[in-house]
Amino acid sequence: MLPSKLKKYIRQSGFTLIELVITIVILGFSSMILLPFFNSISHSPDPLVRIRAVNLGQSLMDEILAKKWDNNTPAGGGSIKTSESDRGSSVPATPSAGLGPEAGESRPIFNDVDDYNGYSETDVFHDQDNNSFTLTGYQRSVQVRYIAGNTATIDHNTPGLNNTSDSKLIVVTVTSSSGEKFYFTAVRCNI
């Protein structure tokens, strides 16, 4: 026979059925909350891929916005004549069909916003000093087009105009190595 103290210890060790059921229920609820969290982390794109894509887009957009509005914009700035307004000089803005680099121009000597229209790079990229670097699987391209000054929404899908206006829409599109597209959109005005 067992001593009474040992019997009491044996009866008190372990968990009751109610305690086990409550523990299982709590673990079940916890897993319902944590599994989607861990699933989203394991399936999300690598943050480094996104950071590289954002840096590629923002650096090119900064470079473009530092240029003058049009090839015919006077030194030091000032507005020029467009289909939308005739204020400023009598020199007209570059026609819509002529947006892009002038004959013989390459990126190191681009001097206005619309010179970048149609510019594209894949895998090997250049900074504004024409130094090259490689990011395999990435691509960036630029579109520049005239838009109406009263456009309600302005994003990468805003339609362009066939004539000149006082606003140019600049869209830098970066495609990351995972195929995700990033759009950097800015408007530059004739001032």
* pLDDT reading at 4 higher than 70: no
- Average pLDDT (101-115) is 92
Residue 7 has pLDDT above 70, yes or no: no
CA atoms within 13 A on the CB side of 172: 23
Mean pLDDT of 27-55: 80
CB 165 within 8 A of CB 36: no
Residues 119 and 74 in one domain: yes
Q: Report pLDDT digits (tens) over 121-156.
A: 999 999 888 899 999 999 999 999 999 878 778 888
- Contact indicator for 116, 157 with CB cutoff of 8 Å: no
Q: Which residues contact 53 (CB under 8 A, 6 or more apart)?
A: 138, 174, 175, 176, 180, 182
Q: 54 and 39 in one domain?
A: no
Q: Is the pLDDT of residue 9 over 60?
A: no
Total number of domains constituting the chain: 2
Report pTM. 0.75
Question: Are residue 22 and residue 113 in the same domain, yes or no?
Answer: no
